[in-house]
A and B are shown apart, each in its own frame.
Chain A
């Protein structure tokens, strides 16, 4: 018991130092001028109408992205998760792809389609391209890119929550109603809390994104912090600009906790979901397949093809490897180390949440979710506020800052994955080991970890992808000479050759997709051998 308590307390303390302290210090810095309490930074921030306009833009953008993502994501989630549509897994993988890569790369690929000399310019008139380009570089384009990036969150959530429904509930309705009626009146209302939760997450992710709005020239609030910090090095103003976003995120998540948490907790993924009966599309199948394929082509495949076309020749890739090779290696190493650290910390945090072994379990859970939902600029500014001082320069001047950023923002991914895995393991498994006299450490290593091994592997992979695609935190905290590939591409986008940028982006996508494919192969092999 003592060992368990000690390890879990250490995990909580680590999380407090990595995730809580930066936020507290950042807030303190935003209300301090020359060592005294002052609201000067906030007064300056609110002196003009600019922050309000930016906040309005951010809220409009996030709301439209959440709406479009939800409409598309729920529809696709139902078609791919509930019906007998062919090529389900391929479609799911393709639609998920934009979520796996940095969002600004998707924006870049769209620019390669609709830009002045883009892919579409070979097929349509110059006037059409001009109009499309004007739409892309503005709010409509920003909504399109961010919706295609975050739509998979709603789609995957819908697919997962569909698997939580007791099939008998739908069968009971099938006795008196057609499948469409069952879907409308029973299935969708049952998973509605999960859908709303996913839509909330999309809203927050879109609210915090600054790469895409910056590239597509839409003024939003997250850029304010970044600009104040990087352009003017006005740290107080940067922290003050970060606080409204933090408050907004806390308010939205607070609402989620109040109204949805107890309902979504009831929706737990069931094992063996692949065996669930699927709705037959019947005569409408060709039409549905065509609709899904066209959507996939438009929002995923064509932008990728444009990127490949833009990258042009093998020469561009050789130049790209030469130019960004060191960043690529750093990205891979940092993502792998970050994912491993996240898996370890996430396991203990998840174990704490699952077993409720410490009284603070609920606060820890809420805090990790809040950190995940916070805009990355807010976390980055917080980390700088805490660590940028002579006493801690040993940490601040090293890539450890990037790892701390990963741990601060992404622990919820691995802790929630652990909770989901542990929920499927009967408590009696660990109890049986305890009865034999095995200590807690031994039980965890020999019983619990092997039983949730697959979930941990999945968690590691998700963490790896998020670390690899991270731009916001890394952009703010990386020490000189330690930039990662997403940061290097973003820098190149200011003045680099288009084919070089496209080739570097393709390398980034390959680095993301290859581990996914390897893991899919390993898991597939394991499943076949069972």
Chain B
């Protein structure tokens, strides 16, 4: 079943074309990695999908429903059922861990007992039960990352967007969280759109890899087909 469909989407920002004729179809449960160097338009893809910006031309559909087209946002972000983990985590510093997780549940009018049950369950899933009352600035980078992931997943989104979400972590922690992410994906079955410039991350996470350069799709295919492990050519290409 098709979950996401970009249909010939273009986007210009301050006179510069950041995305051009971008077409992509993502099936349910897939793990799609968008790989490319800085400024290639990969984050723009996520922001279009999230509903933060509208395409200048072309259209975006989620679960068969048109959500944005031709300069207009048809469905606002809060009605798209998406979760997102940002590069800088974007945890709300004035709220506790529990408050961060509860915000979305409250906005969706989930009753208190159910909110508590889901928060407890999600914190257990990301192994952060002990930090329920902590505030984000008190947490380490890895812990913040787990909470950001928990916050994105607690509303059981059909699609999880991750924008260079692990890039700020050291290699060991990055690798560890990659494994946890795949484990969560196996358990919860969401569709994952993961943006990165790191070809190792791309290889480990993606079932489908979209290589971008200068706002266009350069190559697209399975991880093993487009980018065999150990062959760094694509990563090198993408980094150019």
Contacts and interface: CB of A to CB of B under 8 A. Distances in A.
Q: Is the interface of A mostly helix, strand, loop or mixed?
A: helix
Contact of B84 (A172, A189, A190): A172
Contacts of B86: 168, 171-172
B78 A186 contact: no
Interface string B23-56: 0000000000000000000000000001110000
A177 B79 CA distance: 8
Contact of B92 (A169, A175, A178): A169
21 contacts: A168-B86, A168-B90, A171-B52, A171-B86, A171-B90, A172-B84, A174-B51, A174-B78, A175-B50, A175-B84, A176-B78, A176-B103, A176-B107, A177-B103, A178-B78, A181-B107, A185-B103, A186-B103, A189-B94, A190-B94, A192-B94
Contacts of A192: 94
Nearest to B94: A189
A174 B80 CA distance: 11
Nearest to B50: A175
Nearest to A179: B76
Contacts of B50: 171, 174-175
A308 B219 CA distance: 70
Contact of A174 (B52, B87, B88): B52
Interface residues of B, number: 23
Contacts of B94: 189-190, 192
Contact of A173 (B88, B92, B108): B92
A205 to B, nearest CB: 28
B79 to A, nearest CB: 9
Nearest to A193: B94
A277 interface: yes
Interface in B61-111: 76-78, 80, 82-84, 86-88, 90, 92-94, 103-104, 107-108
A168 B103 contact: no
Contacts of B88: 166, 168
Interface residues of A, number: 18
A174 B155 CA distance: 13
A178 B83 CA distance: 15
Nearest to B148: A172
B90 A178 contact: no
A344 to B, nearest CB: 38
A173 B91 CA distance: 10
A510 to B, nearest CB: 38
Contact of A166 (B52, B83, B90, B104): B90
Nearest to B85: A172
A171 B155 CA distance: 16
B92 A172 contact: yes
Contacts of A189: 94
A169 B80 CA distance: 18
A196 to B, nearest CB: 13
Contacts of A175: 50, 77-78, 80, 82-84, 104
B102 to A, nearest CB: 10
A190 B84 CA distance: 21
